[in-house]
C-alpha cells in the first residue's frame, strides 16, 4: 500500500486530537497524510503537531498566496487517493451536504474528484437532530461514505451515539477504500458480485404502474461495501433517487422481467445478493393507451371499479438459486417481514433455495429510512444484529461474505 496518500481534513471538535493517531496509524501502513486544518480544528490541535506527525506542510484555512502558488486548492483536493474528514463535525457535514465552499476544507470537498470518507464526531443530540440526519442522508446519496459514530460517554457528560469512531476503525475503513489503479485491494478481489436493488415498476398503462416504497438504499450500500472489499460489482437497480456508488457497474431497469434479464446477463457470478423489492405481480396486459375513467357512463356519483388482471412475476432469487449451471457460490436473499420474522425467514430460506437470508423487520420505519434491524439466517443458525445504519449493515454483510470466501472449509 506504499505510495498512497490521503487528504485529511481535521475539523474543529474535541476529538480532533484523535486525528493525530489516525495519521500515525496510516503512516505505519505506508499511507501518507496531507492535512488541512480548519480554523476551528486549529483550536484543538496545533499545526505544528500535525506537521510533525504527517511530515508535511499543513494547509490551514487562512488564505495564503504562497500556498496557492505552490499548490492551488483544486490541485490540493485531487492530490490524494482519498479524502478523509476526521473529525467530521455537524458544521462540516452541513456545509458539505449543502455544497458550501467558504473555506479551504469545504472548497477541497466540493472540488475533489476522489472518494470521500467522513468520520463524524459530535454531541449525541446534535447527531440525532433531524437536520444532521438529513445532511448525512444527502451526503450518502451523493456517494460519500459516512461512518456511524461510536456510542458511549461524551466529553460533554452525555451518553449515546456521536463519539468519533476509534482510530483503528477509521484506518480500517481507509485501507478498504484505498485502491490500486481502480482495482480495490480487498479480500473479495477477483470475485464478481451481482446485487439487485430498489423497487420494480410494473406498467398498468403508459402513465401508471404498480410499485412499492423501496428506496434502494440498502442494496446500494451493499454494492458499495462489496466494492470496498475488492469485488467486481454489478448493480441491477429499479428506479431510485440515489446516486450509484463509484466504481460499480450499474444496469438500470424498470420491470421484474427486465431485472431478471439483466441479472442473467451478468452471470456467471460468485456472489448474488438479491435486495430488490421485486413486485410480486404485474398487470397481465398493460394497456397500450391511457385507461379512461368510465364513471360518466354509469351516471354521476357512482364509483366505477376497475379490475386489474394480475399475473405473477418471475421470482429472480428462486430462479438464480435453482441454476444448475453457473450457480453463484453464495446467494443472499432478503426477507421483509412484519411478524414472526425468524420463522418466516427460515421458511423463506428453504423456499427460495438461497444460502443466507437477511431478514428485516419492516413493521417500523425501516423502508426508506436510514437504519435497519436485521437477522442473519443461515442453515447453521440465526444471528440477531443490533439496530444500526443501513451502511453498517452493508459493511457487516460484505465482511461476512468475505469471511465465507476466505474460509478454507467453505
- Between CA 232 and CA 250 the distance in angstroms is 11
Minimum distance of ligand CTP from residue 344's CB (angstroms) = 7
| Residue 269 contacts ligand CTP per CB under 6 A | no
Whole-angstrom CA distances from 301 to 7, 212, 296 are 67, 30, 9
β-sheet bridge partners, residue 161? 151
| Residue 335 contacts ligand CTP per CB under 6 A | yes
| Residue 333 contacts ligand CTP per CB under 6 A | yes
| Residue 360 contacts ligand CTP per CB under 6 A | no
Nearer to ligand CTP, 64 or 338 (CB): 338
| Residue 361 contacts ligand CTP per CB under 6 A | no
Residue 180, SS3? strand
The position carrying cell 428485516 is 360
Q: What angle do CA 127, 220, 274 make, to 5 degrees?
A: 130
**Contact with ligand CTP (CB under 6 A): which of 132, 148, 240, 274?**
274
Contact characters 14-53, ligand CTP, x per CB under 6 A: ----------------------------------------
- Between CA 85 and CA 77 the distance in angstroms is 12
Nearer to ligand CTP, 151 or 270 (CB): 270
E-assigned strand segments in 68-201: 82-88, 116-120, 145-146, 150-153, 159-163, 179-180, 183-184, 192-197
Residue 251, SS3? strand
**Contact with ligand CTP (CB under 6 A): which of 26, 336, 370, 388?**
336
| Residue 256 contacts ligand CTP per CB under 6 A | yes
Q: Is the dihedral of CA 206, 211, 215, 217 positive or negative?
A: negative
Catalytic residue ranges: 156
- Between CA 270 and CA 274 the distance in angstroms is 13
Nearer to ligand CTP, 81 or 202 (CB): 202
| Residue 316 contacts ligand CTP per CB under 6 A | yes
Nearer to ligand CTP, 154 or 377 (CB): 377
Identify residues 169-198 at the interface with ligand CTP (CB under 6 A): 196
**Contact with ligand CTP (CB under 6 A): which of 59, 127, 334, 356?**
334
Nearer to ligand CTP, 150 or 280 (CB): 280
**Contact with ligand CTP (CB under 6 A): which of 112, 313, 389, 395?**
313
Whole-angstrom CA distances from 240 to 99, 101, 116, 345, 380 are 22, 28, 22, 26, 35
What cell does 352 get? 427460495
**Contact with ligand CTP (CB under 6 A): which of 103, 221, 266, 315?**
315
| Residues at the interface with ligand CTP (CB under 6 A) | 196, 256, 274-276, 278, 280, 313, 315-317, 333-336, 352
Amino acid at each position: 500500500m506504499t505510495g498512497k496518500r490521503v487528504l485529511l481534513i481535521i475539523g474543529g471538535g474535541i476529538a480532533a486530537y484523535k486525528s493525530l493517531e489516525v495519521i500515525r496509524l496510516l503512516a505505519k501502513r505506508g499511507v501518507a497524510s496531507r492535512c488541512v486544518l480548519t480554523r476551528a480544528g486549529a483550536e484543538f490541535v496545533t499545526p505544528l503537531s500535525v506537521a510533525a506527525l504527517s511530515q508535511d506542510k499543513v494547509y490551514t484555512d487562512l488564505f495564503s498566496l504562497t500556498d496557492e502558488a505552490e499548490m492551488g486548492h483544486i490541485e490540493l483536493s485531487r492530490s490524494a487517493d482519498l479524502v478523509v474528514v476526521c473529525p467530521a463535525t455537524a458544521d462540516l457535514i452541513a456545509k458539505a451536504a449543502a455544497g458550501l465552499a467558504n473555506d479551504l476544507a469545504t472548497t477541497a470537498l466540493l472540488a475533489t474528484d476522489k472518494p470521500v470518507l467522513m468520520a463524524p464526531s459530535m454531541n449525541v443530540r446534535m447527531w440525532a437532530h433531524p437536520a444532521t440526519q438529513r445532511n448525512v442522508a444527502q451526503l450518502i446519496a451523493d456517494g460519500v461514505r459516512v461512518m456511524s459514530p461510536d456510542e458511549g460517554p461524551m466529553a460533554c457528560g452525555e451518553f449515546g451515539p456521536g463519539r468519533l469512531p476509534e482510530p483503528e476503525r477509521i484506518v480500517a475503513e481507509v485501507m478498504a477504500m484505498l485502491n490500486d489503479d481502480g482495482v480495490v485491494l480487498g479480500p473479495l478481489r477477483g470475485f464478481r458480485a451481482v446485487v439487485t436493488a430498489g423497487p420494480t415498476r410494473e406498467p398498468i398503462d403508459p402513465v401508471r404502474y404498480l410499485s412499492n416504497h423501496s428506496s434502494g438504499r440498502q442494496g446500494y450500500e451493499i454494492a458499495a461495501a462489496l466494492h470496498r472489499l475488492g469485488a467486481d460489482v454489478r448493480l441491477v437497480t429499479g428506479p431510485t433517487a440515489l446516486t450509484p456508488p463509484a466504481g460499480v457497474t450499474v444496469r438500470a431497469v424498470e420491470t421484474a422481467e427486465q431485472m431478471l434479464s439483466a441479472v442473467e446477463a451478468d452471470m456467471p457470478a460468485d456472489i448474488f445478493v438479491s435486495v430488490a423489492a421485486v413486485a410480486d405481480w404485474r398487470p397481465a396486459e398493460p394497456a397500450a393507451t391511457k385507461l379512461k375513467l368510465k364513471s360518466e357512463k354509469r351516471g354521476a356519483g357512482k364509483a366505477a371499479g376497475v379490475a386489474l388482471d394480475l399475473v405473477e412475476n418471475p421470482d429472480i432469487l428462486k430462479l438464480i438459486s435453482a441454476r444448475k449451471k453457473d450457480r453463484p457460490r453464495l446467494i443472499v436473499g432478503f426477507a421483509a417481514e412484519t411478524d414472526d420474522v425468524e420463522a418466516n425467514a427460515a421458511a423463506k430460506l428453504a423456499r427460495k433455495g438461497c444460502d443466507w437470508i437477511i431478514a428485516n423487520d419492516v413493521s417500523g420505519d425501516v423502508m426508506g429510512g436510514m437504519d435497519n434491524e436485521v437477522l442473519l439466517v443461515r442453515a447453521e443458525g440465526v444471528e440477531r444484529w443490533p439496530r444500526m445504519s443501513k451502511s453498517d449493515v452493508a459493511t457487516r454483510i460484505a465482511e461476512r461474505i468475505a469471511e465465507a470466501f476466505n474460509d478454507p472449509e467453505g
